[in-house]
């Protein structure tokens, strides 16, 4: 679908631009993310490291926290770009964090050749534990 390809490319480019804002003096690993809401809003984020290391927040969670704190919780897709690296799939904590908002969310990364790879969160986190497990 041409439209979807354009949207995916736009998200990857927004993530790349967010990666330039990285605060990563310890790892020097720049990550950017862009999340698209169901109503067409875009939120971006970068990784923000901390001297304690453990308090570091990944780019994906920064983007999602920005969106949720502005009242948006329904997401279509999230893109992740890592500096010069490729195939920057989200870490385990970020997979769990994305899962909170839906297993149908498309997760987008760039392959070595620049082509976009898309997998649904359910494919990245099989047998997940999600909010439905706590609903009564």
Instruction: For CA atoms 78, 61, 32, 45, give the dihedral sign.
Output: positive
In angstroms, give the least distance from the CB of 37 to ligand THU: 20
* Binding-site ranges for ligand THU (CB under 6 A): 24, 27, 29, 31, 47, 49, 56, 58-60, 90-91, 94
In angstroms, give the least distance from the CB of 27 to ligand THU: 4
Nearer to ligand THU, 17 or 56 (CB): 56
Nearer to ligand THU, 27 or 73 (CB): 27
Which letter, b or e, does each residue of 84-113 get, where b requires 16 or more Cβ atoms within 10 Å of its Cβ?
eeeebebeeebbbbbbebbbebbbbbbeee
> In angstroms, rounded to a whole number, what is the distance separating the alpha carbons of residues 28 and 116?
24
- Catalytic annotation, residues: 60
In angstroms, give the least distance from the CB of 53 to ligand THU: 9
Nearer to ligand THU, 48 or 71 (CB): 48
């Amino acid at each position: 679908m041409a439209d979807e390809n354009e949207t995916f490319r736009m998200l990857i480019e927004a993530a790349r631009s967010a990666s330039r804002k990285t605060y990563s003096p310890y790892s020097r690993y720049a990550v950017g993310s862009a999340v698209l809401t169901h109503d067409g809003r875009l939120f971006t984020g970068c990784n923000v490291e901390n001297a304690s290391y453990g308090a570091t927040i990944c780019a994906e969670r920064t983007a999602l926290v920005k969106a949720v704190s502005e009242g948006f919780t329904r997401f279509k897709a999230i893109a992740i770009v890592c500096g010069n690296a490729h195939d920057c799939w989200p870490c385990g904590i970020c997979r769990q964090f994305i899962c909170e908002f839906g297993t149908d969310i498309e997760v987008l990364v760039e392959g070595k050749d620049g082509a976009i790879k898309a997998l649904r969160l359910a494919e990245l986190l099989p047998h997940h534990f999600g909010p439905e497990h706590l609903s009564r």
